[in-house]
Structure 1
């Protein structure tokens, strides 16, 4: 589930920088961003919205960058909850800055779509999670109705699944591996990021919402093989009243940082959406870093990200075939009208407190 601040079913409000911000990020205008927009073709899987960015850095210098993302079509079933996900697509780049969409085998151009079996957990929509080797970790929404106000919507109940690369541009053997639970993730479990800590220590970071306060919380599950998972509970909770993340903590990106781990996460409140930081020594026990966001929507009224920022994914200065002078934060921005696109911010010398839009 994405882009719903404070309460689970509340629409966007205008997002502005929190008065609690400790960040030194630069609010300059973007010159390259946005780097990926919804398709102009109505029948395309991503003609209405894009979201859920995951970036694969080339393993060697000169290789291709790959961006996995999900999208929603203008021709999507109106009974399916109107979020940014629906099907999954792929884009490629030579430099990480300029991107070209790749057309998948589906008629809509997607590389991965909901199953046609209406009884399955992923029959209403699918959303991007993470890529690990030949595995695509994703989340799917079912066709079980869920009441939203005076309407009944499909795709709200979401669970986490995995599919396997066929080697020919497709994915098969999809299966549900973490259904929604009975606690903080009773409504849905979504946006999995799977990290293989060691041969028999796989970790899944995801977020969910419960039936009581409907606030988003980040949870952890662990596995010995990446297929059978055990919940470990909540690891990042909403902030106190007045905090930028008082309404919930949702999409996040976890990456190694020195002797520990850093998490960039999306926080929401009545004021909107912004990114915060959390730190961990072992990747299991987490503490929030600082008392405010490190990145917030642009103050420029006509900016592509004037209304909200979402779905962070960070590429460090030196990883794989990328040896850069700055880290790169990929994210989804919403403009004043609510239109979504993908942008990039640079982290000077890899410092996440010194972010500026590219």
Structure 2
């Protein structure tokens, strides 16, 4: 997803127990190619939207009655298209299916009447237990939805599949993937870093790669221990036949607040520089950080997270994860919106909220 907005924000620190985020300009990031390690005097914050969550769980008995989570967001032709997965029961329940909601302003979403838009595979297929982690790219007249799937009750995905659409609502799984299925990426073999899980995180189009451009798929993986989740990269010229990058994993836990888990790597480009918002954890405390890259392969952290869980008893008081940053088109206030999944401690429910960087237009480049 290419971003044609002027400005950006980022990093955060804790001073006297107060969460603050230094203000940066895209000029600072792009020209200087570095994030300041210390705090600046001119600071600003991502404000939680007062009416969060913007996408809630469904009514009792519906496909997403308990939770909705791990969304991806596209802005096209005056609408925000938000894709996510949901489930009917407790946080570890199955099946899990993919649905969508749309909005004209980025805050007030309407659930699509045809949900879920992507269902389980038929019995015996590789994705007959769950479909999860949607990430969507529109290229030309085709919408590409990459998703995680499994035929076992686990918290992982045994691979990544693909469904396509011409309108962003009705998706059809391809049938010419691996072994004639919709799967386009396998988890790794025995002893590899991604042998237990290979779920999509972000899909981008790289027009500067190869003769005619390439699809770059960022995915999360983990070995058999299911402890140290990392990010890998796979490339394709047609969006179907992917080859894993030989240098995988390209992003692994290393900062003090990333003890074991790197997931939901939301990649976007600005002025030929790549940025990723991602979630990681220390124990049960998930936080959101940012990294940057010149080539989309070698990533540099800001050194700090910039967003964390809400206050006690808030709807997002346990986890915050799965960030997606979007710059609204034709927004006179030039805001940045960050959608995120949050978990409520008391109920375990997952919902989707938004946080707002209010004054992007004042930064200028």
Which bin holds the TM-score, normalised by the shorter protein? 0.7 to 0.9
Does 1:281 find its partner at 2:294? yes
- Rounded to whole Å, the distance in 2 between the matches of 1:349 and 1:294 is 17
- Rounded to whole Å, the distance in 2 between the matches of 1:288 and 1:230 is 26
Superposition misfits of 4+ residues, deviation over 3 angstroms: 17-30, 153-157, 166-169, 321-324, 348-351
- The corresponding residue for 2:80 is 65
Aligned partners of 1:124 and 1:155 also within 8 Å: no
Aligned partners of 1:22 and 1:293 also within 8 Å: no
- Rounded to whole Å, the distance in 2 between the matches of 1:169 and 1:206 is 23
- The corresponding residue for 1:47 is 65
- Rounded to whole Å, the distance in 2 between the matches of 1:102 and 1:129 is 16
- Rounded to whole Å, the distance in 2 between the matches of 1:167 and 1:257 is 26
Task: Mark the runs of 5 or more structure 1 residues left unpaired by the alignment.
Answer: 1-16, 144-152, 352-358
Aligned partners of 2:233 and 2:244 also within 8 Å: yes
- The corresponding residue for 1:160 is 160
Q: Among residues 165, 182, 199, which one is paired with 1:190 in the alignment?
A: 199
Q: Deviations over 1:26-75 (max 9, x none)?
A: 48664121111101232x1111111111112133xxx222111110112x
- Rounded to whole Å, the distance in 2 between the matches of 1:339 and 1:39 is 11
Does 1:336 find its partner at 2:345? yes
- Rounded to whole Å, the distance in 1 between the matches of 2:95 and 2:333 is 31
Task: Mark the runs of 5 or more structure 2 residues left unpaired by the alignment.
Answer: 1-13, 23-43, 175-181
SS of 1:325's equivalent?
coil
* Residues 1:193 and 1:169: Cα distance change in structure 2 (over 3 Å): same
Q: Among residues 258, 264, 286, which one is paired with 2:271 in the alignment?
A: 258
Residues 28-43 of structure 1: pairs in structure 2 closer than 5 A: 30-42=49-61
- Rounded to whole Å, the distance in 2 between the matches of 1:296 and 1:47 is 26
Aligned partners of 2:48 and 2:355 also within 8 Å: no
* Residues 1:333 and 1:84: Cα distance change in structure 2 (over 3 Å): farther
Aligned residues: 306
Q: Deviations over 1:148-198 (max 9, x none)?
A: xxxxx4564421010122659432243110011132211010133211111
Q: Deviations over 1:301-328 (max 9, x none)?
A: 12111111011111125x4x55542100
Q: Among residues 155, 160, 179, which one is paired with 2:186 in the alignment?
A: 179
Q: CA RMSD in A?
A: 2.7
- The corresponding residue for 1:294 is 306
Aligned partners of 1:206 and 1:219 also within 8 Å: yes
Residues 89-108 of structure 1: pairs in structure 2 closer than 5 A: 89-104=99-114
Distance apart, 1:237 and its partner CA: 0.5
Does 1:227 find its partner at 2:240? yes
Does 1:116 find its partner at 2:122? yes
